[in-house]
Structure 1
Amino acid sequence: LKRSELETACEDFSNVIGSSSIGIVYKGTLSNGLEMAVISLPVTSAKEWSHQLQMQFRKKIETLSKVNHKNFVKLMGYCEEKNPFTRMMIFDYAPNGTLFEHLHVREAEHLDWGMRLRVTMGIAYCLEYMHQLVPPITHPNFNSSAVSLAEDYAAKISDFSLWNQVAAVQVQPTVTAILSPSSDTPHCNVYSFGLVLMEMMTGRVPLSSKNNGLLDNWASDYLRGSRPLQVWVDPMLRYFNPAQLEKIGEVIRKCLELDPQQRPTMKDVAAKLREITGIDQDKAAPRLTPIWWEEVEVLSVA
Structure 2
Amino acid sequence: MEKKSAVGADRIRENKEQVNHGNLVKLEGFCIDTEDAGCYLIYEYIENGSLHSWLHGNRNEKLNWKTRLRIAVDVANGLQYIHEHTRPRVVDKDIKSSNILLDTNMRAKIANFGLAKSGCNAITMHIVGTQGYIAPEYLTDGVVSTKMDVFSFVVVLLELISGKEAIDEEGKLLWAKANTVWDGSVEKKEKRSKEWMDDVLSEESCSKESVMNVMSVAAACLHRDPSKRPSMMDIVYALCKNDDLFFDLSEDGLSEPQVTAR
Match of 1:244 among 189, 210, 213: 210
Aligned twin of 1:189: 149
With structure 2 as the length reference, what TM-score do the two structures score? Answer: 0.73
- Could you say which residue in structure 2 is the equivalent of 1:253? 219
- Counterpart pick for 1:234 among 198, 204, 228: 198
Identity of aligned residues (%): 27
Offset of residue 97 of structure 1? 0.7
Name the residue aligned to 1:113: 65
Where does structure 2 lack aligned partners over 5 or more consecutive residues? 118-124, 130-141, 257-262
Higher Cα Rg, which structure: 1
After TM superposition, the structure 1 = structure 2 runs for residues 126-137 of structure 1, keeping only pairs within 5 Å, are: 126-133=78-85, 134-137=87-90
Q: What TM-score do you get using the length of structure 1 for normalisation?
A: 0.64
Query: How far apart are 1:87 and its partner, in Å?
Result: 2.0
Q: C-alpha root-mean-square deviation of aligned residues, in Å?
A: 3.3
Aligned pairs, number: 226
- The aligned amino acid for 1:89 is L
**1:122, 1:285 within 8 Å by CA — same for their partners in 2?**
no
- Please say if residues 21 and 81 of structure 2, whose CA atoms lie closer than 8 Å, have aligned partners that are also in contact: yes
CA–CA separation in structure 1 for the residues paired with 2:169 and 2:13: 32
Match of 2:76 in 1: 124
What are structure 1's unaligned runs of at least 5 residues?
A: 1-37, 42-52, 166-174, 289-302
Q: In the alignment, what sits opposite 1:153?
A: 106
Report if the CA contact (8 A) 2:148-2:226 is conserved. yes
Deviations 1:255-292 (A, max 9, x none): 11111010000000000110114647xx599679xxxx
Distance in 2, matches of 1:119 and 1:262, equals 24
For residues 1-302 of structure 1, what are the structure 2 equivalents within 5 Å?
A: 38-40=1-3, 59=11, 62-63=14-15, 65-83=17-35, 85-107=37-59, 109-133=61-85, 134-162=87-115, 184-208=144-168, 210-211=170-171, 214-215=173-174, 218-224=177-183, 227=189, 228-237=192-201, 238-239=203-204, 240-277=206-243, 279=245
Secondary structure of 1:83's aligned partner = coil
Residues 164-192 of structure 1: CA deviation (Å, up to 9, x unaligned): x9xxxxxxxxx97769xx96421001111
Query: Displacement, 1:139?
Result: 1.1
Partner Cα separation in structure 2 for residue 101 and residue 232 of structure 1:
20
Give SS of 1:80's match.
strand
Contact 1:195 1:206 in 2 (8 A): yes
Secondary structure at the aligned position of 1:110 is classed as strand
3-state SS of 1:79 partner: strand
Does the Cα contact within 8 Å between 1:121 and 1:279 map onto a contact in 2? no
- In structure 1, the residue corresponding to 2:224 is in which secondary structure? coil
- Measured against aligned partners, the alpha-carbon deviations of 1:209-252 in whole angstroms (never above 9, x if no partner) come to 644x7446632322445643221100122322111111111000
Go from structure 1 to structure 2 and tell me whether the alpha carbon gap of 1:184 and 1:91 turns closer, same or farther (over 3 Å shift): farther
Contact 2:83 2:89 in 1 (8 A): yes
Distance 1:224 1:285, change over 3 A: farther
Q: Deviations over 1:97-133 (max 9, x none)?
A: 1000000112263111111111111111111111112
Question: Does structure 2 conserve the Cα–Cα contact (< 8 Å) formed by 1:102 and 1:108?
Answer: no
Give the CA deviation at 1:67: 2.3
CA contact (8 A) 2:94 2:113 kept: no
Cα distance change on mapping 1:261 and 1:108 into 2, 3 Å: farther
1:59 to partner: Cα distance: 5.0
